[in-house]
Structure 1
Amino acid sequence: MEKFTTGRFIDPFTDWGFKRLFGSEPHKELLIDFLNQLFLGEREIIDLVYNKNEHLGELAEDRKAVFDLLCTGSNGEQFIIEVQRVYQEYFKDRCLYYTSSLIREQALVGSTKWTYQLKPVYLIGLMDFCFDDSHRDKFLHRIQLTTRDTGEVFYDKLGFIFIEMPKFDKTETELSSELDNWFYLLKNLSKLNKIPLFLRKPVFSKLFNIAEVSNLTKDEKMAYDHSLKAQWDYLNSMDYVEKKGFERGVKEGVEEGIKKGVAKGIHQEKLNNARAMKDNGLDLQLIGKITGLPVEQLKAL
């Protein structure tokens, strides 16, 4: 199997890495703390229940929504956490579609007395890229339905928080809040060789312990390596296609060519990774979670 040079701590911007840190019941206090810092007292989250991350539409032709992470708070509020490593043209549209899917599911089927009272739905987008149309000095965006004339909140049970991590450039001495500490940690975790003194607090100590690559089991290390490889291959494919396109001076059709070429390459890479994991004895359900491929397809490899 191909070997990878990794840092002391896992990369939270890989699919596997993020779910390792925040996506399981034993580690939910990490996600609770991060969300409470994000909401700045607007909402206090006491507990979370993890929900399935795939939601199907009511009709066969409806497109399913597959969330990176979906949780429900103790008061019924729902939180979608999406980690987006590379630019996606319709990322905002996808986020709106996801929140709309959860709102629609709250309708009481068959009830004649439903009052349309809804539970809050929030989406947090942790992005390793920047929106084209955002302010260059603003990396944290809190979005709600407001009245345009006054700026007053019109509806407070639907909210979006987008974090453009490339714009967060504070140094250790410039950090001024627990939220700053979280952002610094997420951005720099995979580059750290030691735990900074200012992050030696119970919640962060637990995160560092979970993120320590040397603490991973053989299967977990293998899964992490494959997640890293898929990410690196994707980024390298994007860089290569864009470079060749510019070298030829081809402007028209480049975007479409990139999408088709990268999509084909990513799918083939998933198959290759899945075959390697299967040959190494990994459980098909685990392989499916890592690669996103259906178990039926994995059985045929």
Structure 2
Amino acid sequence: MVFPWRDKYIHLLTDFGFKRVFGTESNKALLIDFLNTLLPVHHQIQDVTIKTPEFFGNSLVNRRAIFDSYCQSTTGERFMVEIKKADHNFFKDPSVYYATFPIQEQAQQGNWHDQLTVVYTVGILDFIFNDHKHDSELLHVVELNNQHCELFYDKLKFIYIELPKFTKSVDQLETHFDKWLFLLKHLGEFKAPPESFPEDVFAQLFEVADIANFSPKEQALYYDSLKVYRDMYSVVETCIQEGFKQGRLEGLKQAAIEQGKLKVKQQVAKRMKAAGLPLKDIAQYTELSVDEINHLIS
């Protein structure tokens, strides 16, 4: 299957694009560099091992958790990185729930006399929290504090980036962190690497993100992922318009998001199956189970 070159580089906020750049062992230098812009000095990463991004609960009724990227540093810290494309009423609940999986993973390795290592959850949000609409701060670090606002436990940390608040143009970028945020939003718009990004890590990023280097199978996966991303925005925008018209914005928005996400994933699964892609690849990129895919296609 051949696709027209509509873009030179991938959009990093697509599932395929993000996992290609930040979720593979061969490109882990990019993940390390990005994470080190967020981490304190004492947790700067030298090397990581990319781990399976999928966890299962310890019983049949527990939910499955799949992360966009999951890795462990050589000193033991665990890092889960997730893109969240649309706001919903219960975002914080699953975020905290999924953070417990790497903690449970450590418990299986020994008894409770062992010390747990630090767990970081990094959320790259393509939306703004409802209660943050009127402030300009885009980076939020959340820890467990006691009633006196003193740090109670320093081994569970949540870092959230509200990406829509980042509005700098390319000539306004001041820091390495600025450059990463700019590329998270705008990489897919470039036709060539800008001169203001001379760093080796960004040269590697542009090489990895160049669609011309993709195999036909990777092209199919990427453009299906891009369609999911764009359809998701279409669903949200339609929902907002309907909500304003009918005076029930929040309920319609959430229902449309969930229904639209499932429908788009099912459509993508059908196309990928018809293209002869393996079921395990389809399951990975659509987050549908193999059974759901087989039932859908049959």
SS in 2 for 1:79: strand
Using the TM superposition, give the Cα deviation of residue 262 of structure 1 relative to its aligned residue in structure 2, in angstroms: 3.9
Q: Which has the higher contact order (CA 8 A, sep 6+)?
A: 2
Question: Alignment partner of 1:62: what SS?
Answer: coil
Cα offset, 1:4, TM superposition:
7.3
Query: In structure 1, the residue corresponding to 2:124 is in which secondary structure?
Result: strand
> Residues of 2 paired with 1:183 and 1:231: CA distance?
18
Shift of 1:270: 2.1
Equivalent position amino acid for 2:191 in 1: N
The percentage of counterpart residues that share the same residue type is 36
Work out the number of aligned pairs and report it: 295
Distance 1:62 1:277 in 2: 28
Give unmatched runs, 5+ long, in structure 2. none
Give the direction of change, closer, same or farther, for the CA distance of 1:139–1:292 in structure 2 (3 Å limit): same
Deviation at 1:5, TM superposition (A): 7.2
**Aligned counterparts of 2:166 and 2:252: Cα–Cα separation in 1:** 32
Deviation at 1:136, TM superposition (A): 1.5
In structure 2, what is the equivalent of residue 208 of structure 1? 206
Tell me the equivalent position of 2:31.
31
Structure 2 counterpart of 1:281: 276
Match of 2:88 in 1: 88
Q: After superposition, give the CA deviation of every residue in 1:53-78 in whole Å (9 maximum; x if it has no partner).
A: 22112222222222222111111111
Change (3 A) 1:272 1:46: same
Q: 1:250 aligns with which of 247, 250, 263?
A: 247
Q: Secondary structure at the match of 1:198?
A: coil
Partner AA of 1:292 in structure 2: E
> How far did 1:141 drift?
1.0
Preserved contact between residue 226 and residue 273 of structure 1 (Cα < 8 Å): yes
Residues 107-164 of structure 1 deviation map (CA, whole Å, 9 limit, x = unaligned): 248x6x6315211100111111111222622001122223553x54332211111111
Q: Is the 8 A contact 1:4 1:225 kept in 2?
A: no
Give 2:180's match in structure 1, choosing from 179, 182, 191: 182
Is contact 2:57–2:63 with CA below 8 Å preserved after alignment? yes
Shift of 1:104: 3.0
Which residue of structure 2 aligns with residue 57 of structure 1?
57
The equivalent of 2:71 in structure 1 is: 71
Partner residue of 2:220? 222
For 1:232, the aligned partner's letter is R
Residue 15 of structure 1 is matched in structure 2 by: 15
Query: In 1, Cα distance between the equivalents of 2:62 and 2:274?
Result: 35
1:52 alignment partner, SS class: coil
Query: CA 1:288–1:77 in 2, change beyond 3 Å: closer, same or farther?
Result: same
Query: Which residue matches 1:143?
Result: 142
**Maintained 8 Å contact 2:8/2:212:** yes
Could you say what secondary structure the match of 1:224 adopts? helix
The TM-score, its normalising length taken from structure 1, stands at 0.89
Contact 1:108-1:114 at 8 Å conserved across structures? no
Whole-Å Cα distance in 1 between the matches of residues 264 and 228 of structure 2?
A: 7
Question: d(CA) in 2 for partners of 1:129 and 1:95?
Answer: 15
Partner secondary structure for residue 277 of structure 2? coil
1:48 aligns with 2:48: yes
The 3 A distance-change label for structure 1 pair 96 and 265 is: closer
What is the letter of the counterpart of residue 122 of structure 1?
Y
Q: Return 13-22 or 85-94, whichever deviates more.
A: 85-94
Q: Which stretch of the first structure deviates more once superposed, 159-168 or 267-276? A: 267-276
Alpha-carbon distance between aligned partners in 2 of 1:71 and 1:270, rounded to the nearest angstrom: 26
